[in-house]
Amino acid sequence: MSQVVKRAYKFRFYPSGAQAAELSRTFGCVRLVWNRALDARQRRYATESKSTTYVQASAELTKWKSLPELAFLNEVSSVPLQQVLRHQQAAFAAFYAKRARYPRFKSRKRSRASAEYTRSGFRWRGGELTLAKMAEPLDIRWSRQMPDGAVPSTVTVSCDSAGRWFVSLLVEETVAALPSTPQTVGVDVGLTCLAVLSTGEKIVNPRHERADRRRLAKAQRDLARKMKGSNNREKARRKVARIHARITDRRTDFLHKLSTRLIRENQAVAIEDLTVRNMVANHALARAISDASWRQLRSMLEYKADWYGREVLVVDRWYPSTRVCSHCGALHARLPLDVREWTCRCGAVHDRDVNAARNILAAGLAER
């Protein structure tokens, strides 16, 4: 069995001076349109108690382009400007559906610089990508194989805080389901061990942020000593951003490999429904929890399971997986965190985390 899915392929590219200047102008215009559109929405709701539709926002954009002080909006491609209005409409729909927080204004320093092009805003020919308002194709490093005959429906160009340029190509791809297997696994996430499996295997937490913490601290001290607005401060800021990018890239790569392995080897993966947002309120553990990135691992497991015909079983967060004996089902009264191994009244000796993983698997399978 196979299905057609939308899949994004992200590559790094190196723009020429003219391309970088054009994209930087586009990023600035996208940010300005977002902020003006958001401000117009808020004022309309405050004065008229009415929401704003995409058609109304698009009409406002047309008016802005005719203003002398905003004439520069006509110098960039109109496609990313229209797309940002669509994204804002979707953001408010998600907010009203209680799936996301209220949309915020974008800052030049703190927001990710990006622009999205639909098919009318780029040319894809012979494996080369040329964006609107550009004469030459982008110099892309094709680090992975694109599907044969794939034509991008959407192209997103971005520049991260470390100054690296990326292009993401959204294509439709036919993905075949993996062969069925009787194997199932329960996963108990933690800090010492990133994941403990019901099979007894323990996957050590790489602690990517801790590995680079000393380098990061030194770079941040150097940044703090630089004069604001100087070129040296910008160089120091880029150095800090590169260290953060290295940490993020290594963490994401590790989680991709782990999630792919779990999905390939098992028909069903059982996990706990953890509220990471509440857990990071504990300042003593917030950094370690964020570095472990449990939410990202769950997200990867869920969409890969959907692609390959697998199943992710989510167990209620209040289920006492640690205190239940996986052998006889008895509930232990109390189990302090420093107790890593315990013996049940039935005589079974349990490793705390392995026992929890086995209980998570059993609870997940019971709720299927």
Active site residues: 188, 272, 353
DSSP 228: T
Coil vs helix vs strand at 269: strand
Coil vs helix vs strand at 357: helix
How far out from the chain centre does Cα 182 lie? 31
Q: Phi, psi (5° rounding) for residue 175? A: -110, 125
CA distance 31 to 317: 39
Which residues have a Cβ under 8 Å from the Cβ of 178 and sit 6 or more positions away? 263, 264, 308, 309, 310
3-state helix, strand, coil in the chain (%, to 5): 45, 20, 35
Q: Locate all alpha helices (DSSP H) within the chain, ordered by sequence.
A: 17-48, 54-66, 78-96, 208-211, 213-225, 231-265, 276-279, 286-292, 294-308, 352-366
Q: What are the tokens at 99?
A: 């799936």
CA distance 244 to 308: 32
How far out from the chain centre does Cα 110 lie? 17
CA distance 207 to 192: 9
CA distance 28 to 32: 6
CA distance 261 to 258: 5
Coil vs helix vs strand at 57: helix
Q: How far is CA 289 from CA 160, 256, 257, 274, 281, in A?
A: 24, 18, 19, 11, 10
Q: Phi, psi (5° rounding) for residue 251? A: -65, -45
DSSP 281: T
Q: What are the tokens at 128?
A: 């080369």
Q: Please give the helix or strand (H or E) that residue 271 lies within, else none.
A: strand 268-272
